[in-house]
């Protein structure tokens, strides 16, 4: 890819996150351009193509035509979770790079197929974790790496959103086949991935409890889940996610010499405060809300231009799915569940 060339994208899936955040980001990205949209609703695709300046649009039935578009270099997969693998693998087989929304897929097996397809076709695969690029999170990671907090002992985190009864909530989020799970895979995954990223370690055991206050509505997926992940060197994450509480997110990290907190931690459109105490001295810094999706798009384009594996790559997404499966297993069996990455192999 020439240094001056913008990476041409097709966005597949035009749900709320695409319309509110992904598509607007292309207006400000210097390294990517929006070429095409793909949706199950042709009228919606036409409307959003006109609104966001995409020259072409397609239905899911015509996805193959999109993949043959000469200006489409990459695909942003933002469909329902249960179809991430299908659209990623088809894109890879057509020689297109893939930026895939989290969670990567519903099963470890699907994730492995996605990684294999991208590796076989020599295309890049990145999972859309904005935290790797967002300034406040990067500042927290730098603080952890500096050693100023001392050895890390405990992390606390939560991400909650409220899905009101009625037609305002997407039906697919309550369908296990389409969603893969409930609040854990939708918002709790941020707690899982960010903890791993901050401490540069993978957990070895999960314990969890899942519950719902409306069993009829949440007959296939969980409304709430609280879980504990044990990491090497005695590090423990305590976390919760919910579909039944007002939107909020936080991350606290406690070390031998001090503690730090990020609030809000995961929402993409709110001011962030990074604060805490080190050696008894208070610190605080504010970060204005910004377009994190632009940072994500440009980072992916740069990895393609340089011919290197992006961060976070498919292996990171796969590990998160394996961890969430262990969390679900622990909740079902009411006992700790070991986490193994044996056989996962290289990215």
CA atoms of 266 and 252, how far apart (whole Å) = 13
> What does each C-alpha distance from 58 to 36, 46, 251 come to in angstroms?
8, 8, 40
Alpha-carbon distance 225 to 222, whole Å? 7
Residue carrying the six token digits 């597949």: 12
| Residue 288 is a catalytic residue | no
Dihedral sign for Cα 192, 265, 198, 297, please. positive
- In angstroms, rounded to a whole number, what is the distance separating the alpha carbons of residues 293 and 291? 5
Q: In what order do the strands lie in the sheet with 236-242?
A: 281-287, 272-278, 258-263, 244-255, 152-162, 236-242, 224-230, 205-211, 337-338
**Is 102 among the catalytic positions?**
yes
Q: Which of 96, 102, 173, 319 is catalytic?
A: 102
CA angle 147, 153, 157 (to 5 degrees): 105
Choose, from 190, 218, 243, 266, the residue flagged as catalytic. Answer: 190
Helix (H, G, I), strand (E, B) or coil at 242: strand
- Say if residues 34 and 26 touch (Cβ distance below 8 Å): yes
Token look-up 């503690």 returns 259
Active site residues: 102, 190
């Amino acid at each position: 890819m020439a240094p001056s060339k913008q990476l041409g994208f097709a966005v597949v899936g035009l749900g709320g996150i695409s319309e509110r955040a992904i598509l607007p980001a292309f207006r400000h990205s210097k390294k990517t351009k929006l070429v095409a949209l793909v949706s199950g609703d042709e009228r919606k695709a036409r409307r959003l193509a006109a609104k966001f300046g995409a020259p072409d649009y397609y239905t899911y039935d015509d996805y193959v035509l999109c993949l043959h578009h000469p200006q489409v270099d990459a695909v942003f997969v933002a469909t329902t979770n249960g179809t991430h693998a299908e659209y990623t693998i088809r894109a890879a087989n057509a020689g297109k790079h893939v930026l895939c929304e989290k969670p990567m897929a519903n099963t470890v097996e699907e994730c492995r197929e996605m990684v294999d397809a991208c590796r076989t076709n020599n295309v890049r695969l990145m999972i859309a974790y904005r935290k790797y690029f967002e300034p406040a999170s990067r500042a927290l990671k730098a603080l952890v790496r500096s050693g100023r907090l001392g050895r890390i002992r405990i992390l606390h985190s939560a991400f909650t959103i409220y899905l009101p009864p009625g037609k305002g909530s997407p039906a697919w989020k309550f369908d296990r086949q389409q969603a893969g799970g409930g609040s854990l895979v939708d918002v709790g995954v941020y707690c899982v991935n960010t903890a791993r990223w901050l401490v540069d370690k993978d957990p070895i055991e999960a314990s969890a409890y899942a519950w719902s206050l409306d069993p009829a509505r949440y007959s296939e997926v969980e409304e709430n889940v609280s879980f504990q992940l044990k990491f090497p060197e005695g590090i423990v994450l305590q976390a919760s996610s919910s579909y039944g509480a007002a939107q909020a997110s936080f991350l606290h990290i406690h070390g031998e010499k001090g503690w730090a907190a990020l609030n809000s931690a995961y929402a993409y459109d709110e001011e962030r405060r990074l604060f805490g105490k080190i050696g008894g001295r208070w610190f605080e810094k504010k970060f204005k809300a910004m377009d994190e999706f632009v940072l994500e798009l440009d980072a992916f384009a740069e990895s393609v231009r340089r011919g290197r594996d992006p961060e976070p790559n498919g292996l990171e997404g796969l590990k998160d799915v394996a961890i969430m499966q262990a969390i679900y297993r622990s909740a079902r069996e009411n006992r700790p569940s070991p986490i193994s990455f044996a056989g996962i192999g290289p990215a």
